Chains A and B, each alone.
Chain A
């Protein structure tokens, strides 16, 4: 096992890659009663075309299958649901599916070892039948309908659709009522056998434990012991142009009272090394934070002029692109977006502002490590986005400087952007 420090935070990580390719990361904490474990696979809603393990040809599976599979992992042949097992020790369990990964989490204060063994057992023993697949369709249909009433969720989906022409990130994570209807147990096994292989998975655990004891449990686990290393899943490459699918969309929505908008920009990052990408990403983050964050003049002015109610900035990596999104609540999103561009072009950034931002970010890195769940999640995010954990974030932040920031800023291009606005339905009647 290797040991490294999350620099500047008094937090240590032990890690090892098992011969099967499974990545293990352990974060021992003193002074905590709780633990949090997350077993994940790099299989998300975007993985719709791939070569199944042991086969040669690409297949296409219905939208929403990764999420469906996540639900069905909770079926066990012996009839005892994972919920039931974990409940015996008062332990919680859950799962979530994103664009790029599915995570299975277990959290509690009791019986860490037994629960870890069980987590490994249940994820490595799928049990799909025609009946249990059928039964799930009603439940997931209700989940989809629940999200269809949620304006923030719908807005997120519409922004992806406007921004991307070909990339499967265009699809809703849970799929659609008609696509989940088509899902069969055979397809679920195909996905499982392809993506739930150790080389495509990782396990991250934080809590009050002795790392050597926990790694032994993992190494000696019956269900992991015999696993051999397989090739990484072969997923169909998508050719996604830099040009956006639609640059402007306005949607009257049944459940919104004040306009909400997403303004997203596509920045090319193809060919960038992972280190470069990390650095580039946080520089972009810093520029946006200084220009549009809580201490920016922009925000103050826009709020005083009654043009802004809420503004949240987000950055995500989607294959060859870094996506920047401004999530906006405003009575006049169009004007606000115009102002955002103007601000970006005209506003200077000072050394002082950079130093303040660094101070805040470094402090936040330290504060975050107090929370086991957040720390485990951050490690998984790094593994998914960069293929590695980044233990020296604080050092990278410390080294940021104005010269480099200005260089990156100069190349920033608003050209490829999409605006999506959700409007109250009455507005539609007024204009039509």
Chain B
């Protein structure tokens, strides 16, 4: 694998050459500080850009064009990364070896059309595309409760602190949606294209010079350069006694979500110790939570924990019967206490490290994961996978016990609770 970075004025092009894949993958990341009131607009924009464009005025035309490029695929996603909000516009297409000569250039041109020539007339987005996207977004926002596990997570985060970015709804807000017009969306488009931090990644069996030339010609982002800040969220308060919220709901299985804040972690703790702590606590079927709450006490089908070092949060999630709420909660607390007391084996630590290293090895099997690894190193200063493989081995039992005291249970939320809780 070869890597080359080219600074193109206000943005960077990162090229990774590898013969591991039959496709070429392109990812354009537009990133900016999060503003709650802009989330809906940004999602709208990310959807509408990949729905139609000036050259391909309907979804149908755009689909036909992508199919003619040997099923080239364009899709976009928007997501929060700590204090930042990112929009990724992705393209992948077959290596010319499996399609025909000239397809690299044509596929990249296609992506460029989508980003730089949106379906706009008289400073307004096309009404037909606009209304379809608006309608779909409305339904998406309204149906958030259908996924009870996700909804429980949202409610937990809101209860934790509704002023913090982690509680913002990633799918947007109805009030904001209703305010968006064809004109205001175009204004926002111009702002986004001008003011985001932009990184472009291209990975595959590529020719560096060709890709650089195409990007220089086709992707003329003219953003003003901004100082990059660390997106990590720092908590200004941590509850000494966890807030407990139980809400009634007419569902068959109650959803328990517990949010823990991480306080004053060192870089090493955040990047390494936390990973091992999480694997041991609830990272899989070998974890303390799975073995005790599910296997030993048969209280649930799923239980897991996940850590987010950018948000400084660790979240535990499970589906239980409502009258087992107290029992499940006390078992979870007990396992967290067990880590604090050092009641876990050296073997468990070693296994967690091996598991983590295996996950790192697998990064190289997927183009998007390789891109993410590079991006994480640029934005978060995270070490590269080969360095991570070595450093993770340095984590000791004492490190994990020390970290466990910085994991503060802050908010306990149960969706679909009450009845007869014993």
Contact = CB atoms under 8 A, between A and B. Distances in A.
Interface of A: 10, 31-34, 81, 83-84, 87-93, 108-110, 135-140, 142-143, 145-146, 148-151, 254-258, 293-297, 299-300, 303-304, 306, 309, 329, 356-357, 359-360, 363-364, 366-367, 369-370, 372
Interface string B61-77: 00110011011000000
Contact of B251 (A136, A149, A359): A149
A265 B63 CA distance: 27
B139 A258 contact: yes
Contacts of A372: 365
B146 A256 contact: yes
A330 B159 CA distance: 33
Nearest to A94: B285
A214 B92 CA distance: 34
5 closest A-B pairs by beta carbon, nearest first, are: A138-B298, A90-B354, A90-B358, A295-B63, A90-B355
Nearest to B72: A363
B58 A300 contact: yes
A32 B98 contact: no
B135 A309 contact: yes
Contacts of B302: 146
Given A87-B351, A258-B139, A356-B68, A142 B358 contact: no
Contact of B94 (A93, A255, A294, A367): A367
Nearest to B94: A363
Contacts of B319: 142, 145-146
B19 interface: yes
B358 A255 contact: no
A139 B320 CA distance: 10
B136 interface: yes
Interface in B313-356: 319-321, 351, 354-356
Contacts of A329: 139
Interface stretch (B20-28, B173-181, B230-238): B20-28
A257 B143 CA distance: 5
Nearest to A140: B301
Interface in B22-47: 22-23
A34 B365 contact: yes
A148 B19 CA distance: 45
A359 B94 contact: no
A34 B98 contact: no
Nearest to A331: B139
Given A136-B298, A257-B142, A366-B22, A146 B253 contact: yes
A293 B300 CA distance: 39
A110 to B, nearest CB: 6
A152 to B, nearest CB: 9
Contact of B356 (A90, A92, A363): A90
B351 A32 contact: no
